[in-house]
Every structure is written in C-alpha cells, then in structure tokens.
Amino acid sequence: MPASDYEHILVEFPAEGVGLVRLNRPRAFNALNGPLMDELMDALAAMDRDDTIGCMVITGNEKAFAAGADIGEMAQATPVEMERMDFIGRWERLRAMRKPIIAAVSGYALGGGCELALACDMIVASETAVFGQPEINLGVIPGAGGTQRLARTIGKALTMEMVLNDRRLSAAEAAQFGLVNRVASVEDYLNQAIELATSIAARAPVAVRSAKAAVNMAFETPLAAGLAYERERFYALFATADQKEGMTAFLEKRKPAWSGR
C-alpha cells in the first residue's frame, strides 16, 4: 500500500537514512487495532527493504505512545475469533525486521503499547513516559510479549509486580532498571531518537544488521550456541567490502566510506 493511503499511521523521512512511523489514532490514545498494526508492519517492512534506510523510529504523540491493544476490538471475541483475526500473530512480523528499530516513547506506553516498545531494539523516553502492563485489570494477561520481554529485561521481581499488580514505571524508573536507553524532555525525546537513528544509519549496514541479529540471539539460545552464532557472523563479515574498507580506513587514518556490500 502506498504510504499516502495509510489511515492510522504517518510515515516520514526526517533525516538521512531514517524512516519514522507515527502512530496516529490520537483520540484513542493510539490504541493498537488490527488495521493500525497491519499498516505499521507494512510500513516497517517497506523500510526494511529500502536500501536508503538504515534505522527506523516508531513514535506516538506527547501524551501517548500507545495505550495498548484496542479493547473494543476484542471485548466480545472468542478464542477462535482472536486466532482468526491473527490478533497477536501479526506482531511476529516485527521480529523479522533486520534493521534496528527505536521506540520514541512519551506519555502512556500501556499493555500492547509497552509491549510494542519492548519489541523494538532501543527505547528513548520522554520524562512523562509511563510503562505498564494493566491487562490484569481487564481479566487477562499481556499477550504480545510483556511477560517474556519484561522478565528478560528488568528481572522477575519487578515484572511480577507489573503484570500481577499493575505497577507502572516512570521514565526515571525505566532508566534505572535498564528498560530504556535514555530519557529526554518532552520537547527533545523525538529529536534524540532521530539523532540516535541517524548515527546508527551512518554505520556499516551489513554489520549493523548482523549486530542486531547477534544481540537478539542472546535471548534465544544457551550461551554456547549464542557464542557460536556470534563467531559465525563475525567471520562472515570478512566477506564484505565494508570490512575491508573499515579496516583499511583505520590503518590509513581516514574515515571509512561504507558501500553496504
């Protein structure tokens, strides 16, 4: 679908090598309904294929990154209807993106909104960001990775509190517990996310994609398998022109010019 046809997101290219998706259902605090998620995945997949893009940013607005999955869409659903809608399955596409994705979060990141941020590779938060998994208040549990990704990121004790008892984290707490990369003012958080994305997008593209895959493998495998995977990726990069360029440029004391080959 052409970017101009999207109804629930806005697509922008704010800096060299950077693709930005704004979630755009402000009246529903960017609740993540099916059409929005499909558009988001389509837009990200197009950027993932685009050689001119090196890093993506997902953001909401100042008040809300996203207040979760759309409750109206699922309130009366049966398990089979949820499965037929592919309610959570479509989120799997996010995991398949090869390029880094940064969540720029201000205001509410609740339920699926928190899970969407967690599914990104890095998070830049505004001082007003609030992270929470309030699904317990609706008689359910997180369904898009909250229990798993939070436990792996901030540990069991705090995850239990968040998931069982709707404990919410402020931006400062999220930084303290290692959930976010940095916290900035509401005026500046998106700029900082775009700056971070621009810096990553200027680096050797094949190595950046390999680095993302290797770090993510740390969450999938025992250490020995992860180390083996990392080593294979490291050796494989010696087949790229960028490895030769990077190391030659270092020895010649000049800046490398990456070709992405």
- Please tell me the distance from the alpha carbon of residue 249 to that of residue 161, in angstroms, as a whole number: 50
Nearer to ligand CAA, 69 or 154 (CB): 69
Nearest distance in Å: CB 113, ligand CAA: 7
What does DSSP assign to residue 69?
A: B
Nearest distance in Å: CB 22, ligand CAA: 17
Q: Which residue is nearest to ligand CAA (CB)?
A: 111
92 labelled catalytic = no
Q: Which of 235, 218, 216 is nearest to 227 (CA)?
A: 218
Nearer to ligand CAA, 54 or 134 (CB): 134
Nearer to ligand CAA, 126 or 240 (CB): 126
- Which is catalytic among the residues 15, 66, 67, 69? 69
- Please tell me the distance from the alpha carbon of residue 199 to that of residue 193, in angstroms, as a whole number: 10
Residue with tokens 């099916």: 34
Strand order in the sheet with 108-110: 64-66, 108-110, 130-132, 169-170
Nearer to ligand CAA, 39 or 115 (CB): 115
> Quick check: 140 and 165 in contact, CB under 8 A?
no
Can you tell me which of 6, 29, 65, 131 binds ligand CAA, judged by CB under 6 A? 29
Q: Residue 132 has which token pair?
A: 């929470």
155 labelled catalytic = no
69 labelled catalytic = yes
- Please tell me the distance from the alpha carbon of residue 135 to that of residue 164, in angstroms, as a whole number: 9
6 touches ligand CAA (CB under 6 A): no
- Residue 247's CB: how many other CB atoms inside 10 A? 12
Strand order in the sheet with 122-126: 9-15, 18-23, 55-59, 101-105, 122-126, 182-184
89 touches ligand CAA (CB under 6 A): no
70 touches ligand CAA (CB under 6 A): yes
144 touches ligand CAA (CB under 6 A): yes
Q: By CB under 6 A, what part of segment 49-68 binds ligand CAA?
A: 67-68
Nearest distance in Å: CB 48, ligand CAA: 22
135 labelled catalytic = yes
Nearer to ligand CAA, 111 or 205 (CB): 111
Nearest distance in Å: CB 155, ligand CAA: 20
- Please tell me the distance from the alpha carbon of residue 100 to that of residue 239, in angstroms, as a whole number: 22
Q: By CB under 6 A, what part of segment 109-138 binds ligand CAA?
A: 110-112, 115, 134-135, 138
Q: Which residues are catalytic?
A: 69, 112, 115, 135
